[in-house]
Amino acid sequence: MSEQSSRRTFYVETLGCPKNAVDSDKVVASLLADGLAAADRAEDADLVVVNTCAFIDAARQESIDTTLALAGQRKPGARLVVTGCMAERYGAELAEALPEVDAVVGFAGEGSLATSVALDWPKRKGAGSVPERPTGVRDLLELPRPAPTAPWAYVKVAEGCDRACAFCAIPSFRGKQRSRTPESIEAEARALVEGGVAELVLVAQDLAWYGRDAGEPGSLAPLLRRLDGLAADGLARVRLLYLYPSEVRDPLVSTMLELATVVPYFDLSLQHADARLLRRMKRWGSGDRFLDVITAIRAQQPDAAFRSSFIVGFPGERESEHDVLLEFLAAAELDWAGFFPFSSEDGTPAAEMPDAVEHDLALEWLRECEAVQEPITRAARDELVGREIEVLIDMVDADGALVGRTHREAPEIDGVVTVHADWARPGAMVRAHVTEAIGTDLVAKVTRR
């Protein structure tokens, strides 16, 4: 038997947001470091790990459904471990509810997933014998990650959140913000760039707050300057996700617009546009203030792209406040926007608030938001037809076409660009002429490398 075939194998299934994808990368790295080998399919693995999402009801249901499906698919004797946000938030409860699962493991603690939780056990154990606080992987933030497989990669610069948005449970289970040091982020970034990554996507629960917990507010701009130094090694783009709007000001904005590597893509976490409702959400801002921020950036960089997400049907939301949101969307002309019906999260202030909005009404409002936003997004894409764009080739799709993104599209979130060129490969940065917009996607012909 070869060494490879005698090694225990693992399979990691990731649900939820980009921050979870980084955690999964680090889980993979820790399992590889423990001597396990990656399996291509859950059915072949000795250890199946589900990295769950607990963001809203639908995400939790998807996490449970996926876990149950994988429980059915695994081979006899394989261990099934649930980790991620649901494990952190509902640990013991989840272990009780899912007897199919061998362990429910949060991300805090000592030891490693493979050695202390799953594979050292003499035989599979039921929920009744799962330790109440099973030991999990170490703090994932500082763990190494496997070699990159795409020309872009998420880099998590901090974990946790210091804010107290009324609808959000994240601070209750991810804790206060803990920022990594610039040195450790740069080291991870350098390794990724040396491994072929051209675009780094920086993520955190509250990215613009980076460094404040270490007594150094405003650290994001200097971090961007530090990462810009990797341009000589092949770093082409740095993209920022999740910017709390009150922090989108100079020197961060001027630094973003000045540095050649930082793309003018502003992922503003707005949630609503009505000032009274935002106060009820315990958040900063108003539609007018947001418009001021957006207008000022566009005045400096007309090609800047904007994304945001909004909660529809927050407790106490009135028709007039919903109208404020619709007016804001029409005025802001964001390139991309996502709308989510309010989801009541146990233990949050919003869960105790009176005047719940009927779910059907929230869905009706959501459709109205989409009806305003969709033509705006489409028009922004149509306007690009005939223009020259710069595309980072991400992959070759199943039809053999090259698929990539400009600065306007975040990976896995926004549209894509299909380009035609015989010579280009994933990782190449090419100039291309946009010939067509199909929904949110573009088709382009390469003009030069």
Q: Which of residues 203 and 446 has its CB atom nearest to ligand SF4 in the complex?
A: 203
Nearer to ligand SF4, 144 or 347 (CB): 347
Site string for ligand SF4, 218-247 (x = CB under 6 A): --------------------------x---
Binding mask 244-263 for ligand SF4 (x = CB under 6 A): x-------------------
179 is a site residue for ligand SF4 (CB under 6 A): no
Q: Which of 84, 91, 148, 171 binds ligand SF4 (CB under 6 A)?
A: 171
CB closer to ligand SF4 out of 151 and 171: 171
Distance CA 256, CA 253 (A): 5
Structure tokens at 393: 């080739």
Residues 127-166 that bind ligand SF4 (CB under 6 A): 161, 163, 165
Q: Answer yes or no: are the C-beta atoms of 35 and 8 closer than 8 Å.
A: yes
Looking at beta carbons, which pairs linking 299-303 to residues 24 or more positions away fall under 8 Å? 300/253, 300/257, 301/257, 301/264, 303/264, 303/407
Encoded amino acid at 6, one letter: S
Distance, CA of 204 to CA of 242 (rounded, Å): 7
Minimal distance, residue 319 CB to ligand SF4, in Å: 25
> What is the enclosing helix (H) or strand (E) of 438?
strand 429-438
Total residues at the site for ligand SF4 (CB under 6 A)? Answer: 9
Q: Which is nearer to ligand SF4, 119 or 161 (CB)?
A: 161
Using the rule CB under 6 A, is 168 a contact of ligand SF4? yes
As measured in angstroms, the least distance from the Cβ of 337 to ligand SF4 is 16
350, 166 Cβ separation under 8 angstroms: yes
Q: Which of 382, 399, 385 is nearest to 445 (CA)?
A: 385
| Angle CA 65–67–73, to nearest 5 | 105
Spatial contact of 417 and 409, defined as CB atoms under 8 Å apart:
yes
206 lies in the binding site for ligand SF4 (CB under 6 A): yes
Among 193, 188, 186, 201, which residue's Cα sits nearest to residue 238? 201
Select 164 or 371, whichever has its Cβ closest to ligand SF4.
164
Angle (CA) 313-314-317 rounded to 5° is: 75
Whichever of 18 and 426 has its CB closer to ligand SF4, that residue is 18
The CB-of-171 to ligand SF4 minimum distance in angstroms stands at 5
Binding site for ligand SF4 (CB under 6 A): 161, 163, 165, 168, 170-171, 205-206, 244
